[in-house]
Structure 1
Amino acid sequence: MIIMINGAFGVGKTSVANELVNAIGNSMLYDPEEVGYMLRNIVTEDVMLPGERTGDFQDIELWKILTVNVAQLLKKRYGKNLIVPMTIYDKERFQYIYKGFKQLDKQTFHFCLNAEEETIYERLEKRGEKEGNWCFQQTKKCVEAFKSKCFQELIKTDKLSVKEVSSQIVDHVKSRSSYKSYGGIENDGSEPLIPQKNRLSGK
């Protein structure tokens, strides 16, 4: 199983993801941001193609490809359910990764944590972000982008605790999947952990 936790920077994705790792057995956290940091160190600006020199590692074409490929390798090697917190508001990029995950495991779920801009600003400040920095600058863009239906399921989090959000996600997954055990959700053996063909191509 793969659970994607999307939403604006600072909305609470990682906190919810960590709660899910504790709530769902045989699971691990997989943060594609780490893939981005690796790429940023390897693909220096002088190597990047013109469209990749934006300061956002998600614009490096290899990021979306490696995000899926690393998930594939993690599933193959460790056989774990993946909990994946990552802000992805570009529709094309999101569809590529979501469909790639679906090929790895049909039990793939996407949840987008939503909140008012003021709530997100408060949460950013609480985690130590300086007002007006890059994360703050992305808030309005993210909130607007996530109004699109392609980012369902939306969860309004303004008045919910991390545990309450996590419980909603677990309840939804239990009702929609073949993984019935709350405390130990495991691959039921009906789906392969990796697809028949690899995901090394960005097409």
Structure 2
Amino acid sequence: MLLWINGPFGGGKTQTAHELLRRLPGSVLCDPEHVGFGLHRMTPPALRGDFQDLPAWRQGVYEVLDLALTGHAGPVIVPMTVVEAPYFRETVGRLRERGHDVRHFTLLATRETVLRRLRERGFGHAVRLVAGKDAPLRRESFALSRLDLCLERLREEEFAQHVWTDRLTVAQVADHIAAACALTLAPNTDGPLRGRLRRAWTGARHIRFD
């Protein structure tokens, strides 16, 4: 089974994916961004755009996930924002046509909630301390530039099932996804402090400098 976690940038995909990985025995996480990062590094900086526009990215994601689903016995977790319907069909659609059990979830929230989460992730706290709470989110400029498009497109029926997360914790979102897939998660034993530290560490591990 593949669990594809979609949603706007800053919507909680990575945190939710790692919560599922932590509590779902036998699961693995396959991040399609790594395919895109590799393609970017092979491309002269002046020619770099959205790596999802490259057919090589869509084909590579399909082939790697097909391999993972064929060769791995447990759930495969994929956190990835995809808002272009043709690209969605080339990845999620083709995997389903191949006969794989693909469960797709879009994590949604209000614009205000997503903006708050963008400020809080990565170096957001440090930026606010140094430059003030209204400082531009320079490291999140791409996410901000795509936010309204993501929120509009991902509400479409093609990107169901939708999960509104404004009032849910990461653990509750993971619980919801697991229940929808008839999967049993290990109990969440994190207290508030340990949960915050775990999420901070997950966010720090995914900060990119290039």
Q: Indicate yes or no: 2:157 matched with 1:149.
A: yes
Q: Indicate yes or no: 2:155 matched with 1:161.
A: no
Higher share of residues assigned helix:
2
Q: Deviations over 1:54-104 (max 9, x none)?
A: 611111111111001011222344444210000000011011111222245
Q: Secondary structure at the match of 2:107?
A: strand
Tell me the amino acid that sits aligned with residue 137 of structure 2: E
Q: Indicate yes or no: 2:39 matched with 1:7.
A: no
Counterpart among 62, 65, 69 of residue 68 in structure 1:
62
Structure 1 residues 80 and 38 mapped into 2: Cα distance closer, same or farther (>3 Å)? farther
**Equivalence for 1:18:** 18
Query: 1:183, 1:168 → 2: CA distance?
Result: 10
**Equivalence for 1:93:** 87
Q: Which runs of 4+ in 1 moved over 6 A?
A: none
**Equivalence for 1:200:** none
**Conservation of the 8 A alpha-carbon contact between 1:113 and 1:156:** yes
Q: CA RMSD in A?
A: 2.0
**Equivalence for 2:192:** none
Q: Deviations over 1:148-199 (max 9, x none)?
A: 100000000001000000000000000xxxxxx5159xxxxxxxxxxxxxxx
Tell me the amino acid that sits aligned with residue 69 of structure 1: E
Query: 1:164, 1:104 → 2: CA distance?
Result: 31
* TM-score of the pair, normalised by structure 1: 0.78
Structure 1 residue runs without a partner (length 5+):
47-52, 175-180, 185-203
Shift of 1:147: 1.6
**Conservation of the 8 A alpha-carbon contact between 1:2 and 1:101:** no
Tell me the amino acid that sits aligned with residue 6 of structure 2: N
Counterpart among 101, 118, 136 of residue 112 in structure 2:
118
Structure 2 residue runs without a partner (length 5+):
125-135, 187-210
Counterpart among 159, 169, 182 of residue 184 in structure 2:
182
State the aligned residue count. 172
Q: Percent identity?
A: 30
Q: Indicate yes or no: 2:137 matched with 1:131.
A: yes
Query: 1:79, 1:36 → 2: CA distance?
Result: 26
Q: Secondary structure at the match of 2:137?
A: coil
**Conservation of the 8 A alpha-carbon contact between 1:35 and 1:66:** yes
**Equivalence for 1:57:** 51
Query: 1:32, 1:44 → 2: CA distance?
Result: 21
**Equivalence for 2:133:** none
